[in-house]
Amino acid sequence: MTKIRIAVQKSGRLNQDSLKILKDCGISIDNGKDQLKATARNFPLEVFYLRNGDIPQYLRDGVVDIAILGENVLVEKGKDISIAEKLNFSKCRVSLAVPKSVEYKSVQDFEGKRIATSYPTTVKDYLASKGVNADLHIINGSVEIAPNIGLADGICDIVSSGSTLFKNNLKEVEVILKSEAVLAVSPKISTEREAILDKLRFRIQSVLEARNNKYVLLNAPNEKLDEILTLLPGMRSPTVLPLAQKGWSSVHTVIQQDTFWEVIDELKQAGAEGILVCPIEKMVR
């Protein structure tokens, strides 16, 4: 039977969330310790555990059909590779930073300066688009230390909370790009495997939708129902059921994670009581 081959980061920041999304899609993978390849038990899928930075080349060569990796890695070395889904985890940005003590005015300040980075193409392209020439020092890790040891005047690296910059007395001065984990596709994928990819994408979409929504149940006095219902979106419209106690109803609906707390506040003010919030496992529109 034909199987689709997926690359997942072997270890590091993407590993656990990548395996979790496959699990939430109902795919069980037998994981032996230190295994570099595994097969799913209930989906035509083979998993290859690889370095995030090596994945674009594997996709390009068609050694794997799809992969979960950071979008920033595709910007750096996989511009020819397409993205099938954004996966809404490992969100970060790739930014330029300089020592806090530097009075920074604009990107032109990098002219002739030394920049340490693990993302040379990204920096080069960005600076070229601004007409700036700088001298790049390519290092593979601990980039933030470079200005403190006199190796560079500034850096370009991944920033998330900003705490690594802060601890190293640096400040973020330019955001070059925003990134998150993505599902990328090999340009060499076969038609047969594309059909498996469609099935996987359908599952991923329903998992991501579910993660982004909550199922909400609440009680409301009937005279407040009209006002409460205007506050609620729901998939098509909210469900309203009578409670055993006369004059009261139970309202069931789905609320988006981002607007959740505001809607809950408004519901309480409008007279809703006994509000229960439950996670949703899968959501198919």
Ligand X SMILES: O=P(O)(O)OC[C@H]1O[C@H](OP(=O)(O)OP(=O)(O)O)[C@H](O)[C@@H]1O
Residues that bind ligand ATP (CB under 6 A): 9, 12-14, 51-53, 70, 72-73, 90, 92, 158, 160, 179
Task: Give the one entry of ligand ATP, ligand X, none that residue 95 binds, where binding means its C-beta sits below a cut-off of 5 to 8 angstroms depending on kind.
Answer: none
- Whether the CB-CB separation of 66 and 56 falls below 8 Å is answered with no
Q: What is the footprint of ligand X within residues 11-40 (CB under 6 A)?
A: 13
Residue 87 lies near ligand X (rule: CB under 6 A) = no
> Which of 71, 76, 144, 174 is the binder for ligand X (CB under 6 A)?
144
Q: Which residue do the tokens 């069980």 mark? A: 28
**10 near ligand X, rule: CB under 6 A:** no
For residue 71, with 0-12 CB atoms within 10 Å meaning exposed, 13-18 middle and 19 or more buried, which class applies? buried
Total number of residues shown for the chain = 285
| Residue closer to ligand ATP, measured from CB, 90 or 206 | 90
Q: Which segment (128-136, 151-159, 208-216, 240-248) binds ligand X by CB under 6 A?
A: 151-159
Regarding 157 and contact with ligand X (CB under 6 A), the answer is yes
User: Directed axis angle between helix 191-211 and helix 15-24, to 10°?
Assistant: 90
* Smallest gap from residue 129 Cβ to ligand ATP (A): 22
**Region from 1-9, 122-130, 152-160, 201-209 binding ligand X, contact rule CB under 6 A:** 152-160
We find the least distance from the C-beta atom of residue 72 to ligand ATP, in angstroms, to be: 5
With contacts defined by CB under 6 A, name the span among 15-23, 83-91, 153-161, 236-244 that binds ligand X. 153-161
Site size for ligand X, by CB under 6 A? 11
Instruction: Report, in Å, the least distance between residue 259 CB and ligand ATP.
Output: 24
Distance CA 210, CA 206 (A): 6
* Residue among 271, 278, 276, 274 at smallest CA distance from 228: 271
**Identity of the residue, 43 or 119, whose beta carbon is nearer to ligand ATP in the bound complex:** 119
Stretch that binds ligand X, among 97-105, 162-170, 184-192, 215-223 (CB under 6 A): 162-170
3-state secondary structure 230-281: HHCCCCCCCEEEECCCCCEEEEEEEEEHHHHHHHHHHHHHCCCEEEEEEECC
* Alpha carbon distance 228, 262 (integer Å): 13
For 31-125, strand residue ranges (E) read 37-39, 45-50, 66-70, 82-86, 92-99, 114-117
Residues forming contacts to ligand X in the complex (CB under 6 A) are 13, 141, 144, 157-164
